[in-house]
Chain A
Amino acid sequence: MVGIKSYGAYIPISRMNRDIIGNAWGTRSIGGERSVANYDEDSLSMAVEAALDCINGEDRQGVEGLFFASTTSPYKEKACSSIVATVADLNKEIWTSDFANSLRAGTSAVRAALNAIKSGEAKSIMVTAADCRLGTPRSVDEQTFGDGAAALLLGDSDVIATIEDVYSVSDDITDVWRTDQDTFVRSWEDRWVMVNGYTKNMKAAISGIMKKSGLMPKDFAKVVLYSPDARSHVDLAKSLGFDPKTQLQDSLITTIGNVGSAQSLVLLVSALEEAKPGDKILLASYGDGSDVFILQVTDAIEGVKNKRGVKKSMGLKMMLPSYEKYLAYRQLVSLPEEFIKLFPSASVMWRTQKWVLRCHGSKCKHCGLVSFPIQRVCFGCHSRDEFEEVRLSDKKGKVFTYSLDNLAGGIDPPTVQTIVESDEGGARIYCLMTDCNPKEVKVGLPVEMTFRRFHREGGFYNYFWKCRPAR
């Protein structure tokens, strides 16, 4: 049976009360909170977070493909899927592909993975979707949008939910868009968008799959509908004969916001977290048409554990104190130029990606000493090239020493500098700490690793690992 083997999700820890945005512009707040990617996060780094949540504890060797879906890929030309696959420490002999430009990109990637597995070409493919969309300042979009990511590991065995049926409709409608010239998402008059875009297409697709499968609304334990706002999906569910109170999956619009092309997968993860064996789930995405899936939860769902998922991420939050910080995080204001003298080099980053991206350290085969970054000559016994690589990204550690640095600059000072002692053989990791309250940093604080955007010197994005308080 083909279906979902594992899932993961990532919601940035920063949340902004929407009243802050309303107050900043003197406009009405739509209420609730939205997630905000930290200044060092983007769709790629969030996809990595979700991928690691999904893959940790699973068999990395068996994964034969990785897809990255987003409307906000940091690159217009360069595959982010290859970066995510490398950071997730997957094999090189796999199929990677980026799905872009549509709010449906996430479910399109799922459908492509499904087809590949069904055809027997691959046994297991991971799909990641992430978005960090910008609403025009002062617009309702700015309040409604949120940032986040999800990942699904699809395969042909040991699935927690089978994918029973799929159905799609395509419709060219310029309702919500962003051209290659735009920074912010645009949309046409909202009544027209709702009636002729969202409602019409969702109804056509959902009615289509119901007819095809011969199922009735009452057969579903949960209906997961793409939700452009807090209300439209409720009206849609009602009109299709579902009971919003018992059957409709919470859209998370009031707590996280609309996470774009990742929304359908984030909400599916949320539904799976509550699902019981035998549950049927209907999933419908939207964007120039609609993709609809029917899933059936298996007994294996009860074996899922140690996932951060949506539920745990929801409980982890730090409130953004001001709208200005949001502007700074998204680089929508110009801050003083930084005095950084790091040299950019694509070839160096490529040559060192075993530790820069895969977060591998070296464990000496003679004396057992573990070092990070990878050392060819052992620190302890001087043996040359006799080490095995060990992955540190999934290991916790403790702060050995630290400093809160006001001189180091950056968007959100103080910069928290740390020396981490990894649980993996005591390797020392010199890194910055992120997603933390500087006042709570202390010697001995348990930490975990997180993959972040560092800078764009040289005209390309440089990513590396930081630590954060263990969650």
Chain B
Amino acid sequence: MESIKDKIAIIGMGCCKFGENWNKGPEDMIIEAAYEAYEDAGIDPKDIQAAWLGTVGAHWIGMGGLALAEPLKLQGIPITRVENWCATGHEALRNASFAVACGMYDIAIAVGFEKLKDTGFPGLGVGRGMHPVMEMRRTAPSSFAFIATRYFHTYGLSLEEGKETIAKIAVKNHKNGSMHPKAHFQREITLEQAVKAPIIASPLGLFDCCGNSDGAAVAIITRADLAKKFRDDPIYIKGIGVSQNSMMPHFQPGFDWTGFEVTQIAAKQAYEQAGIKNPRKEIDLAVVHDCFTITELIIYEDLGFSPKGKAKEDVDAGTFALDGELPVNTDGGLKCFGHPVGASGLRMSYEIYKQLQGKGDKRQVKNAEIGLAHTLGGHPSVSCVMLYGNDRG
């Protein structure tokens, strides 16, 4: 099995302003992100040879690549719509990468978007299951509340200790997000606000949950050996790992509800490709799937940043703060950008891309060379880990 390491370079990226974009349609957000990416890459839209589109909205299912072809007037090239729960944005980039790596295309575009605020419902929806009754009233907050309840129980955290621990993650991410002009939420919060917020799905309160936002993000890629023709500072893909569970953990006998194997496996795949032995030491920053604060806590463990059951100690020590040993969610994460599902993986990659180019502005992580982007989706049952570096090696 070959590795994708150093075969693909990102030469341009774009990201629209995330938020409750009442006055923008999907087309407006795609145009905003795509034209930023064209300009960044220094290419003309006609240079694009193939496109991948990631979106999960019910409205777009069965609509092929129309949602992308229409606004950008991409004429005559293949467009493939992909979806894989919350890893959808990453999947668009992953599939585009393999097509370019095999030599079929020189320049491809990966686009992810979601327009959540046109559904009339303030969330991702309730009980959209595979069976007429099996998943009645299943919500994303509850699936992750299962983790929180069981994690606190297993590792002996009282409700107060547990809630305070995950609240610190919310405070950290809001602080980072306050420094990002494209974030939906750009306001700092206090620990007290986070702990005392109304309960959404116990033990998770309002500030433990990410926002519901609209957004779009775009990446333009080429073969690594062509990258320097476009710019001096392309960013290289070092590893891509994707893992899917055979079934939702809700049914899985013995599932311990304190972590997700899919993240562990996706990370292992990506680390092996990139040659990473000690992720905590070798990775300079990570943007991870903090759909809920508890998710970020267990991700620290699943990605190998913290020992199992010990993430609290690292949270308390500030390990993952912007000035910490391994900054996580430097842009504010899903907490501040919300989670327009198809866009998120690419939005995370956008932050890594900018940081590795030294364009992190007030959030810049010093000497950032290797970055990780992570998505986790489904019940949860799928995860993607992507590693990027600014040196072709």
* Contact residues in A for B201 (Cβ distance below 8 Å): 403-408, 414, 417
A236 within 8 A of B: no
Q: Is the CB of B253 within 8 A of A464?
A: no
* Contact residues in B for A343 (Cβ distance below 8 Å): 132
Q: Is the CB of A340 within 8 A of B127?
A: yes
Which segment, of A129-137, A212-220, A426-434, faces chain B? Answer: A426-434
Complex interface residues of chain B between 72 and 122 (CB less than 8 A to chain A): 120-121
* Contact residues in A for B145 (Cβ distance below 8 Å): 402-403, 405, 417
Which segment, of A110-118, A248-256, A327-335, A454-462, faces chain B? Answer: A454-462
Q: Known: A340-B127, A341-B125, A404-B202. Is A409-B255 also a contact (CB below 8 A)?
A: no
User: How many Å from the CB of A350 to the closest CB on chain B?
Assistant: 11
Interface size on B, residues (CB 8 A): 44
* Contact residues in B for A408 (Cβ distance below 8 Å): 126-127, 137-139, 142, 201
B280 within 8 A of A: no
Complex interface residues of chain A between 259 and 317 (CB less than 8 A to chain B): none
* Contact residues in A for B135 (Cβ distance below 8 Å): 342, 430
Q: Is the CB of A339 within 8 A of B121?
A: yes
Which segment, of B146-154, B263-271, B337-345, faces chain A? Answer: B146-154
| Complexed CA–CA distance, A462 and B132 (Å) | 8
Q: Is the CB of A454 within 8 A of B136?
A: yes
Which segment, of A97-105, A158-166, A367-375, faces chain B? Answer: A367-375
Give the contacting residue for B251; candidates A414, A417, A428; CB below 8 A. Answer: A428
A455's nearest neighbour on chain B, judged by CB, is B136
* Contact residues in A for B199 (Cβ distance below 8 Å): 404, 406, 414
| Complexed CA–CA distance, A417 and B204 (Å) | 13
B230 within 8 A of A: no
| Complexed CA–CA distance, A402 and B127 (Å) | 16
B281 within 8 A of A: no
| Complexed CA–CA distance, A430 and B149 (Å) | 15
* Contact residues in B for A404 (Cβ distance below 8 Å): 199, 201-202
Q: Is the CB of A417 within 8 A of B200?
A: no
User: How many Å from the CB of B123 to the closest CB on chain A?
Assistant: 6
| Complexed CA–CA distance, A267 and B134 (Å) | 36
Task: Fill in one digit per residue for B166-178: 1 if any A CB lies within 8 Å of its CB, else 0.
Answer: 0000000000000
A443 within 8 A of B: yes
User: How many Å from the CB of B29 to the closest CB on chain A?
Assistant: 23
B133 within 8 A of A: yes
Q: Is the CB of B127 within 8 A of A369?
A: no
Q: Is the CB of A379 within 8 A of B253?
A: yes
Most chain B beta carbons < 10 A, residue from A344, A352, A401: A401
In the complex, the number of residue pairs spanning A and B with C-beta atoms less than 8 Å apart equals 146
* Contact residues in A for B250 (Cβ distance below 8 Å): 419, 428, 430
| Complexed CA–CA distance, A375 and B150 (Å) | 25
Main secondary structure on B side of the interface with A: loop
| Complexed CA–CA distance, A373 and B148 (Å) | 25
Q: Known: A339-B126, A462-B132. Is A410-B252 also a contact (CB below 8 A)?
A: no
Complex interface residues of chain B between 226 and 253 (CB less than 8 A to chain A): 246-248, 250-253
| Complexed CA–CA distance, A233 and B127 (Å) | 49
Give the contacting residue for A407; candidates B126, B203, B247, B253; CB below 8 A. Answer: B126
Interface size on A, residues (CB 8 A): 49
A348 within 8 A of B: yes
A345 within 8 A of B: yes
A460's nearest neighbour on chain B, judged by CB, is B132
Q: Is the CB of A405 within 8 A of B141?
A: yes
Give the contacting residue for B253; candidates A345, A369, A462; CB below 8 A. Answer: A369
* Contact residues in A for B200 (Cβ distance below 8 Å): 405-407
Q: Is the CB of A373 within 8 A of B134?
A: yes
A415 within 8 A of B: yes
Q: Is the CB of B253 within 8 A of A370?
A: yes
* Contact residues in A for B198 (Cβ distance below 8 Å): 406
A341's nearest neighbour on chain B, judged by CB, is B128
B46 within 8 A of A: no
User: How many Å from the CB of B295 to the closest CB on chain A?
Assistant: 14
| Complexed CA–CA distance, A42 and B137 (Å) | 20
Q: Known: A405-B201, A443-B153. Is A348-B132 also a contact (CB below 8 A)?
A: yes
B64 within 8 A of A: no
Q: Is the CB of B141 within 8 A of A457?
A: no
Q: Is the CB of A341 within 8 A of B127?
A: yes
B277 within 8 A of A: no
B247's nearest neighbour on chain A, judged by CB, is A379
Complex interface residues of chain B between 181 and 215 (CB less than 8 A to chain A): 198-204
B324 within 8 A of A: no
Q: Is the CB of A454 within 8 A of B133?
A: yes
| Complexed CA–CA distance, A370 and B254 (Å) | 10
A463 within 8 A of B: yes
| Complexed CA–CA distance, A249 and B64 (Å) | 70
* Contact residues in B for A462 (Cβ distance below 8 Å): 132-133
User: How many Å from the CB of B58 to the closest CB on chain A?
Assistant: 8
Q: Is the CB of B131 within 8 A of A348?
A: yes
A380 within 8 A of B: yes
* Contact residues in B for A349 (Cβ distance below 8 Å): 132-133
Most chain A beta carbons < 10 A, residue from B120, B131, B141: B131
| Complexed CA–CA distance, A95 and B87 (Å) | 52
| Complexed CA–CA distance, A369 and B254 (Å) | 10
Give the contacting residue for B252; candidates A356, A379, A406, A414; CB below 8 A. Answer: A379
Most chain B beta carbons < 10 A, residue from A356, A372, A428: A428
B129 within 8 A of A: yes
* Contact residues in A for B125 (Cβ distance below 8 Å): 339, 341
A167 within 8 A of B: no
* Contact residues in B for A372 (Cβ distance below 8 Å): 251
| Complexed CA–CA distance, A409 and B142 (Å) | 12
* Contact residues in B for A406 (Cβ distance below 8 Å): 198-201
| Complexed CA–CA distance, A340 and B126 (Å) | 6
A323 within 8 A of B: no
A177 within 8 A of B: no
* Contact residues in B for A348 (Cβ distance below 8 Å): 131-132
Q: Is the CB of A407 within 8 A of B123?
A: yes
Complex interface residues of chain A between 410 and 428 (CB less than 8 A to chain B): 410, 414-415, 417, 419, 425-428
Q: List 13 A-B contacts (CB under 8 A).
A: A341-B126, A342-B128, A342-B136, A379-B247, A380-B253, A403-B141, A403-B204, A406-B198, A415-B142, A419-B257, A426-B254, A428-B254, A463-B133
- Using A403-B141, A406-B200, A455-B136 as known contacts, list a sample of 8 further A-B pairs with CB atoms less than 8 Å apart, ordered by residue number in A: A342-B136, A372-B251, A400-B257, A402-B145, A403-B204, A404-B201, A405-B141, A417-B201
Closest 4 CB pairs of A and B: A403-B145, A430-B250, A464-B133, A401-B150
Chain B residues with CB under 8 Å of chain A are 58, 120-121, 123, 125-129, 131-139, 141-142, 145-150, 153, 198-204, 246-248, 250-255, 257
